[in-house]
Structure 1
């Protein structure tokens, strides 16, 4: 379905957000993939309308996917983290072999207030046993076994009357996410391990979508992500992005490429179906390449 864009006056598809002449919807298989590993994409707010954003392909091509918009913390944010009533069995490994964390008590909950780029303002322990209360944030998060899942809510502080003499602030709910048992974060950090090293069944995966600078900022500004086992891909592949979008390193992949390769590594889904998503991505990159060539020809005055 297409609608008229106010800014460009071009018909825009309301499903894939691409101009009608480069609409992606007809390039997918007739039915979305029933992915066995649930997917949550944390998408930076500036990425949603980018012409080369690849998360849209996952959102259309996969059934079990949630897309959550995340904005930068420009003033202050508060994250409320709550754990389910059931306790993890004592000594249970939360992620990779040898990573044994402390079981979380029933109904545990706490909140974290942060400033820009992840600076910690305060930690409020609503329901935590004494042994947790004096820990620095990294140790607090690192000591917890989150294998039973948890829920997180982000409240963003914004100016309620910006530019007036009585400027004030209010909190708005930006997102509320339920992180199910068996979840991992796909993101390369010092603590990330190869995805093949996981020794438990992954049921859900969180992915960050944005430029590498924005993705790193999202990671730093969402400290609750440290509750999750971190995994990374160990591939020597050049991204299809390389010709049309700047990548910091040749082996850095787009969001959809990372998702497809991670799901292949975890198993449970048909590889040929997942490869179909890469075909759609490759065609989108081809569209952008042609548009770029057309613009250059117009500037240079060369005929087709």
Structure 2
């Protein structure tokens, strides 16, 4: 027998995160392209990011036929939020010479799956890349990061918005994420968590 799920946050109703999810306005538009393997993931942080941001959209797939329309939005300049040799560090709008806000395209999946999204969508791979000049440590305490500076999708979005739209702060988006992680730790038991996940 399956547990009843909240249709909005996709969590079991007894663990619904909706009361913790804010509804924030942002000048920046966020487009998350989610690999299908992430949709039912217990820690679907991309979903939390999009639920908490009014100016955002989540699309699920591997190849996106309508990608041109999604990334060419009048009044915005589009970029891929993804590290790479050519990636330019994001700077606050207050010091930016270009008056247009960013449309940040964020691939969601493991590094391998995110790279596959780029490979299957040449328009995506052709976008200019932006990255975080300084990466704050991840709060994702349940799995070891594949590399230093690796963040969950939600954390990457929050840190990018905090840089771009300073002094506005988007940390409220992290509240359901923190609750989700605490719930997972409680479910596995503190002793098990400390034995397997503490460094």
- TM range, smaller chain: 0.7 to 0.9
Rounded to whole Å, the distance in 2 between the matches of 1:295 and 1:24 is: 25
- Structure 1 counterpart of 2:81: 186
Aligned pairs (5 A) from 1:97-176: 152=68
1:43 to 9, 24, 34: 34
Give secondary structure in 1 for the equivalent of 2:130.
strand
- Structure 2 counterpart of 1:55: 46
- Structure 1 counterpart of 2:196: none
Q: Which has the higher contact order (CA 8 A, sep 6+)?
A: 2
- Structure 2 counterpart of 1:250: 148
Is the strand fraction higher in 1 or 2?
A: 1
Report how many aligned residue pairs link the two structures. Answer: 187
| 2:14 counterpart of 1:21 | yes
Q: Do the aligned partners of residues 60 and 245 (structure 1) sit closer, same or farther apart at CA in structure 2, a change above 3 Å counting?
A: same
Give secondary structure in 2 for the equivalent of 1:36.
coil
Rounded to whole Å, the distance in 1 between the matches of 2:123 and 2:102 is: 18
| 2:121 counterpart of 1:228 | no
Rounded to whole Å, the distance in 2 between the matches of 1:42 and 1:239 is: 21
| 2:185 counterpart of 1:289 | yes
Conserved? CA contact 1:44–1:214, under 8 Å: yes
Shift in Å, 1:182? 1.1
Q: Do the aligned partners of residues 17 and 78 (structure 1) sit closer, same or farther apart at CA in structure 2, a change above 3 Å counting?
A: closer
| 2:161 counterpart of 1:263 | yes
- Structure 2 counterpart of 1:204: 103
Rounded to whole Å, the distance in 2 between the matches of 1:61 and 1:249 is: 27
Give secondary structure in 2 for the equivalent of 1:58.
helix
Give secondary structure in 2 for the equivalent of 1:225.
helix
Larger radius of gyration: 1
Q: Do the aligned partners of residues 185 and 293 (structure 1) sit closer, same or farther apart at CA in structure 2, a change above 3 Å counting?
A: same
Unpaired runs of at least 5, structure 2: 194-199
Structure 2 length as normaliser, TM-score? 0.83
